[in-house]
Chain A
Amino acid sequence: MRLNAKVPSGPIEQKWDRHRFDLKLVNPANKRKFNIIMVGTGLAGGSAAATLAELGYNVKAFCFQDSPRRAHSIAAQGGINAAKNYQNDGDSVFRLFYDTVKGGDYRSREANVHRLAQVSVNIIDQCAAQGVPFAREYGGTLDNRSFGGAQVSRTFYSRGQTGQQLLLGAYQALERQIAAGKVTMYPRTEMLDVVLVDGRARGIVTRDLVTGEISSHAADAVVLATGGYSNVFFLSTNAMNCNATAIWRAHRRGAHFANPCFTQIHPTCIPVSGDYQSKLTLMSESLRNDGRIWVPKEKGDKRPANQIPEAERDYYLERKYPSFGNLVPRDVASRNAKDVCDEGRGVGPTGLGVYLDFSEAIGRLGKKAISERYGNLFEMYEKITGEDPYEVPMRIYPALHYTMGGLWVDYNLMTSIDGLYAIGEANFSDHGANRLGASALMQGLADGYFVLPYTIGDYLSQHMGEKITTDHEAFVATEAAVKERTEKLLATNGTRTVDSFHRELGKLMWDHCGMARNEAGLKSALEKIPALEEEFWRDVKVVGSSDGVNQSLEKAGRVADFFELARLMCYDALERSESCGGHFREESQTPEGEALRKDDEFSYVSAWGYNQDGEPQLTKEDLEFEYVKLTQRSYK
């Protein structure tokens, strides 16, 4: 099997413009003859659904939340990057492109990333015009900040709630189209399978989470905008209901899954407090702009932070990386936190934590300035921990946050199934092996507002008038399979709750496929996961019925898919015996303990095909770098 990324020819700065000209158009009067299914209505799905409807297509949009306004994009705190160069500090489209490829540790497709940087400027224009209350200077212009390792100020923000404000902008645009009758919204509805007819995606099967009804929906194209799969780890910063079912079901139907082991661990989360822990809370990494990270120099130093004198503190990031200091990329910051905790120098009751200290910044800038920048984050921290970060340093520890991997897509964002698209975090396309801060919102909105609405027309224009209804045997068969699976989960009636399985799977993944990975650990995970999965299908207990609301049943279906995905992640991590970005293989490191890439062997995207009967099938998409020079990242 070969995968054609369909990257246009020509100089990189002209590829997108040329491609847009080469794409076939759908006549304005014909657009209303096409139906598009949008699964997921966060930043990517919401913006795409609204934009497609504005263009004249008929959109059916689905989300499991009770309203599209609640998608997990809403929780993004820090900001959104754009190459506006409003700060006159030397930013440019090319620099944002370069930084993103480099930050991704050279495992992304140059052409996609360049397009992302190009349209970043349009996103800010669009969002400002929607009334998104971005931070402003006194003169009324937009304010920027430097974020997560960037050496220019290109991050636009709305206090610590940028994701919320951008999502509400997209949500409002979507509601406008719902009111106009161009989008039909199906909230509290979960996609459980994709329907293929003659190899093309022609619809989906869903479950109404209120009535329990299983139904089919037909369309001319299907778009998955269902986010990432961090919840495979049980504990992550994702919302409780984030899941991989839509993309996993698509994968089982033939969509390749790319770089599943590329997961991002966020360095600044509130540490775990106990076994009951249901999720982890992120503290925006903008905090690293002013907070200083440290642990005691001595192992097992249990004195309160304020009793540890300056000379006995180890500001380990500033020490090891003098030029980037506390602003090193997420993967580097996370691994270093793990290292100091493994050495026994971690802080807090569990020893799995490091200090993020604002006392120096408060002394320099005053409490008011710090409160203006981070007030809501400090409050959130205090609510959760009962400690006041103005008085005592925050305690932070890394947690699963984002998944760079996802469904393989070509330059048009189409998966390896014809007519099935994946946008936003659900695809793998732009972040390589590590995502830079403030780039998730950028990519979600780039895909939704400015990429998919163009590229999908090219596909649709070639399939004019090919109507289908849900009477088709493919729909009937898929619906039957979905029902059977649901009933099987209910009929098992074992002794263990879904959560207990999920927690155990998450622990396995964190231990063996988390911040650091090695061959022995991954191999052992590949033995333990199928055993646990087998036990799940034999012994899970799901109370209640499939009629009406059944949150345990919803979780059970998602966890069943997480088992399969977890295995694929381990296969991928095992196969890629180099370290790159968020993927750290202990066997591949420099003498200083930094990640060591092996470009000769691994400059490719790993696109995995599903194999019902055995090991997944790997197809490699080679990556070529014409514009960015490959170097070992150094943040010293």
Chain B
Amino acid sequence: MDLTLKVWRQAGPDAEGRMQSYEAPGVSPEMSFLEMLDVVNERLEINGEEPIVFDHDCREGICGACSLMIDGVAHGPQAATTACQLHMRHFKDGDEVTIEPWRSAAFPVLKDLMVDRSAFDRIIQAGGYISINTGSAPDANEVLVPKVDADQAFEAAACIGCGACVAQCPNGAAQLFTSAKISHLGLVPQGQPERELRVISMVAQMEDEAFGSCTNHRECEAVCPKEISIDFIARMNRDYLKARTTSRSK
């Protein structure tokens, strides 16, 4: 199939960007979306043009590096799928495909389709962990975890930190990302000692970054490649309210 791509090109963080059109002829339906971009890039290079910069690494949908707005949808048209796992069989001959970076004040563009997502790391630094130094753990089976809790914690922990939730949210809010980690750690017994402090610190950091507020659009849940539920946002809000009103920790 032959496609026309409209791609955001931006030379650097402070440069002005613009959409530019590229032809992508002879695309195979078996290609992944990123492989289609690889082919376009190799052609650009041969012609002496700078290839389109985009983040990618594992190409298995798990590292969370890829971050493309495809026709206005984070990771493109297929639900529960990262851009790297999206295959060209979901497009048809003659399609015009728009490719943009994540658009969010909290994720500034570095070049073309590559953005800076370090705000997510700083949210984790604020408390997205269990404080247990290496060597001080009890035997793993000494702390029993009900299967239902372990399973639910896993659902939250499956977040790959790609940032699609923020990119799709009209407010650029990071509630889904933040609540997923708070819920993962809050659902297991090992996470209880720091539960109150964690939710207060992580929410404070989230608010310090350039993310917006959650107004329940649910766009985040719709585009999340790991189908993380907004139930976790409700859970975070409950935890936050409880911690704010009853917390013994500052």
List residues of A whose CB falls within 8 A of some B CB: 47, 50-51, 54, 65-72, 74-75, 84, 86, 122, 124-131, 133-142, 158-159, 161, 164-165, 168, 171-173, 175-176, 178-179, 185, 187, 210, 239-241, 273-274, 276-279, 281-282, 379-380, 383-384, 386, 449-450, 453, 495, 497, 499-500, 541, 543-544, 548-549, 551-552
Contacts and interface: CB of A to CB of B under 8 A. Distances in A.
B147 A175 contact: no
A139 B145 CA distance: 8
B143 A128 contact: yes
A167 B151 CA distance: 18
Contacts of B55: 66
Interface residues of B, number: 81
A312 to B, nearest CB: 28
Contact of B35 (A140, A159, A276): A276
Contact of A278 (B32, B45, B64): B32
A172 B30 contact: no
A551 B53 contact: yes
Contact of A276 (B38, B53, B133): B38
A54 B137 CA distance: 14
A133 B62 contact: no
Contacts of A128: 137, 140, 143, 190
A544 B116 CA distance: 21
Given A67-B161, A274-B31, A126 B121 contact: no
Contact of B30 (A65, A274, A449): A274
Interface stretch (B152-160, B165-173, B212-220): B152-160
Nearest to A498: B45
A75 B60 contact: yes
A488 B128 CA distance: 44
A543 B48 CA distance: 6
Contact of B150 (A127, A133, A240, A552): A133
B46 A497 contact: yes
Contacts of B50: 543-544
Given A66-B116, A140-B144, A176 B57 contact: no
B167 to A, nearest CB: 15
Interface of B is mostly: loop
Contact of A126 (B57, B134, B146, B185): B134
A240 B80 CA distance: 22
Contact of A133 (B125, B153, B160): B153
Interface in B28-44: 28, 30-32, 34-36, 38-39, 42, 44
Contacts of B178: none
B125 to A, nearest CB: 4
A281 B126 contact: no
Contacts of A69: 64, 121, 124, 161
A51 B62 CA distance: 25
9 contacts: A70-B63, A75-B63, A125-B138, A129-B136, A239-B63, A386-B89, A495-B46, A551-B53, A552-B45
Nearest to B131: A176
A140 to B, nearest CB: 3
Contacts of A70: 57-58, 63-65, 161
A552 B49 CA distance: 12
B62 A164 contact: yes
Given A136-B146, A159-B154, A278-B38, A67 B46 contact: no
Given A72-B63, A278-B59, A54 B45 contact: no
B72 interface: no
B130 A131 contact: yes
B161 A278 contact: no
A543 B53 CA distance: 12
Nearest to B161: A69
Contact of A134 (B61, B64, B150): B150
A500 to B, nearest CB: 7
B166 to A, nearest CB: 14
A140 B53 contact: no
A239 B59 CA distance: 7
A126 B64 CA distance: 25
Contacts of B85: 380, 383-384
B60 A380 contact: yes
A140 B147 contact: yes
A497 B45 CA distance: 7
Given A131-B190, A140-B144, A383-B81, A125 B153 contact: no
Contacts of B51: 543, 551-552
Nearest to B57: A239
Contact of A172 (B38, B48, B86, B130): B130
Contacts of B232: none
B143 A136 contact: no
Interface in B4-36: 11-12, 28, 30-32, 34-36
A53 B187 CA distance: 27
Interface string B111-137: 100101110110011101111111111
A138 B38 contact: no
Contacts of B48: 541, 543
B124 A175 contact: yes
A20 to B, nearest CB: 12
A251 to B, nearest CB: 24
A499 B134 contact: no
Contacts of B124: 69, 171-172, 175
A541 B57 CA distance: 22
A175 B128 contact: yes
Given A130-B129, A384-B87, A449 B134 contact: yes
Contacts of B97: none
Contact of B132 (A124, A129, A175): A129
In the A-B complex, the 9 residue pairs with the closest CB atoms = A140-B144, A129-B137, A172-B129, A128-B140, A179-B125, A133-B154, A125-B137, A239-B57, A136-B150
Contacts of A541: 45-46, 48
A383 B88 CA distance: 11
Nearest to A548: B12
Contacts of A384: 32, 85, 87
B127 to A, nearest CB: 8
Given A129-B190, A175-B128, A241-B57, A66 B118 contact: yes
B25 to A, nearest CB: 13
Contacts of B80: 379
Given A168-B157, A175-B129, A551-B53, A75 B81 contact: no
Contacts of B191: 131
A134 B154 CA distance: 8
Contacts of B45: 497, 541, 543, 552
B139 interface: yes
Contacts of B151: 133, 136
A135 B125 contact: no
A240 B57 contact: yes
Nearest to B111: A549
A179 B194 CA distance: 16
A279 B66 CA distance: 15
A130 B190 CA distance: 7
A551 B45 CA distance: 12
Given A139-B144, A175-B124, A281-B60, A133 B157 contact: yes
Contacts of A124: 140
Contact of A187 (B53, B118, B126, B144): B118
Given A66-B117, A210-B110, A279-B59, A54 B134 contact: yes
A499 to B, nearest CB: 6
A277 B39 CA distance: 10
Contacts of A51: 133-134
A78 B45 CA distance: 38
B244 interface: no
